[in-house]
């Protein structure tokens, strides 16, 4: 189906191919923008910004004002859910997030006291943004997928190989299953809260899904994601759900078939032509420009964009990066990308 919609991104996520692919960029609100850096210097650290609804709304809107993106992505963090489950969260300068206690045992998990308080500033941010967005812009909410969130909760911080979480999943699968279920249940309510406040589509970020074996991928990525998607479809059937299992590779097709997501994000390691052949017919695809080629710019950027644009001749496609935009990305390169995708070059 081909159409020209007043909300091209939302229409694409609902399965309508647009004459020009809509575009937004993961982490488009952030450190590469001087207006973001100025506001952060004024307001304080990252978590302070997330919890300041006025500031978070302003940051969400900054790339819309500057670039006219087709989608606005809520400025927040995937680790809001661990806070709602009762973990403490803070950010170490230059080192990233820290959570306590580390969930190394069932006793520590059972000692958590859930609280909805961390979610409330996020809903207020959503309301502020929804009231300020241009009519053609689709508002995207998000949450971390249960496996990725669990890796942080178990290790108490990020880790490249997620060894602590993977070891615990083998040693005590019952405990990890309980944790993943709790995360999934809170995530459903959290995303429904975002929807009630004004988001029009949601994305599930599974940034660490690529470290799992096929059997673990089925257990810790596909199954809980399917649980979340089914609950969202039952209670908010009008809202598309984008799944983004970074690093899934050849497991993408099974993820697409078995989770029930309405669209699938692909990272920069995936051949887009392969994805077009392997994924279910008509399923909208989002991606998958390498964030580093956006930094490089020039002919390399131009050819990479052309390859992606040509990979989905009959499939609804949202142009995006294969992961988040890097902080040293030149703004002129983002402008060149937008011009090329929108056909002005």
Nearest alpha carbon to residue 246 among 160, 181, 187, 185:
160
**What are 208-240's pLDDT values in tens digits?**
999 899 999 999 999 999 999 999 999 999 999
Which one from 40, 66, 106, 342 is the annotated catalytic residue?
40
Does residue 2 have a pLDDT over 60? no
Confidence of residue 345 (pLDDT cuts 50, 70, 90): very low
* Per-residue CA distances from 71 to 65, 95, 136, 319 (Å): 12, 30, 9, 11
Which one from 77, 206, 262, 267 is the annotated catalytic residue?
77
Do residues 285 and 279 touch, judged by C-beta distance below 8 A?
A: yes
Q: In Å, how far from its chain's centre is CA 101?
A: 25
Which one from 14, 27, 182, 227 is the annotated catalytic residue?
27
Mean pLDDT of 147-157: 96
Two structure tokens written together for 6: 């007043």
What residue ranges do the domains of the chain occupy? 8-341
Active site residue 344: no
Does residue 62 have a pLDDT over 80? yes
Two structure tokens written together for 45: 């650290």
Which one from 31, 66, 106, 342 is the annotated catalytic residue?
31
Does residue 44 have a pLDDT over 90? no
Does residue 254 have a pLDDT over 80? yes
Does the 8-341 domain belong in CATH 3.40.190.10?
no
Which pTM value belongs to this model? 0.96
Mean pLDDT of 13-34: 97
Active site residue 271: no
Parallel, antiparallel, or unpaired for β 263-265 and 285-289?
A: parallel
Mean pLDDT of 178-205: 98
Which one from 36, 123, 152, 255 is the annotated catalytic residue?
152
User: What pLDDT is stored for residue 94 in this prediction?
Assistant: 76
Confidence of residue 344 (pLDDT cuts 50, 70, 90): low
User: What pLDDT is stored for residue 4 in this prediction?
Assistant: 58
Nearest alpha carbon to residue 51 among 153, 125, 126:
125
Point out which residues pair with 23 in neighbouring strands.
319
Active site residue 52: no
Mean pLDDT of 259-281: 97
Nearest alpha carbon to residue 187 among 144, 150, 152:
144
Mean pLDDT of 69-85: 97
Helices (H), the chain: 8-13, 34-43, 46-51, 53-67, 80-85, 106-110, 120-132, 146-155, 163-171, 173-197, 214-217, 223-235, 252-259, 272-278, 291-296, 298-309, 331-341
Active site residue 255: no
Parallel, antiparallel, or unpaired for β 317-321 and 285-289?
A: parallel
Q: In Å, how far from its chain's centre is CA 92?
A: 23
Parallel, antiparallel, or unpaired for β 88-92 and 96-100?
A: antiparallel
């Amino acid at each position: 189906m081909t159409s020209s919609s007043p909300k091209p991104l939302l229409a694409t996520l609902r399965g309508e191919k647009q004459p020009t692919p809509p575009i937004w960029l993961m982490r488009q609100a952030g450190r590469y923008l001087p207006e973001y850096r100025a506001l952060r210097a004024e307001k304080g650290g990252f978590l302070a910004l997330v919890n300041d609804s006025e500031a978070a709304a302003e940051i969400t809107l900054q790339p819309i004002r500057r670039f006219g993106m087709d989608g606005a992505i809520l400025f927040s963090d995937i680790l809001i859910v661990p806070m709602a489950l009762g973990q403490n969260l803070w950010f170490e300068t230059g080192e990233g997030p820290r959570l306590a206690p580390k969930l190394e045992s069932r006793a520590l998990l059972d000692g958590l006291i859930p609280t909805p308080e961390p979610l409330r500033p996020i809903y207020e941010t959503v309301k502020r943004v929804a009231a300020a967005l241009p009519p053609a812009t689709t508002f995207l909410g998000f949450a971390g997928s249960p496996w990725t969130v669990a890796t942080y909760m178990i290790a108490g911080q990020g880790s490249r190989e997620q060894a602590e979480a993977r070891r615990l999943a083998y040693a005590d699968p019952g405990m990890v299953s309980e944790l993943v279920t709790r995360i999934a249940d809170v995530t459903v309510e959290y995303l429904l809260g975002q929807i009630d406040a004004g988001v029009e589509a949601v994305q599930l970020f599974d940034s660490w899904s690529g470290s799992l074996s096929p059997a673990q991928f089925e257990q810790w990525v596909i199954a809980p994601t399917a649980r979340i998607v089914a609950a969202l479809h039952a209670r908010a059937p009008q809202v598309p759900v984008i799944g983004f299992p970074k690093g899934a590779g050849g497991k993408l097709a099974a993820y697409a078939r078995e989770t029930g997501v309405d669209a699938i994000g692909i990272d920069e390691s995936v051949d887009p032509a392969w994805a077009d052949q392997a994924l279910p017919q008509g399923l909208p695809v989002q991606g998958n420009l390498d964030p580093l080629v956006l930094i490089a710019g020039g002919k390399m950027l131009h050819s990479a964009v052309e390859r992606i644009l040509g990979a989905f001749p009959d499939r609804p496609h949202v142009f995006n990066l294969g992961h988040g935009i890097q902080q040293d990305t030149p703004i002129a390169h983002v402008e060149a990308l937008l011009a090329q995708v929108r056909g002005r070059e």
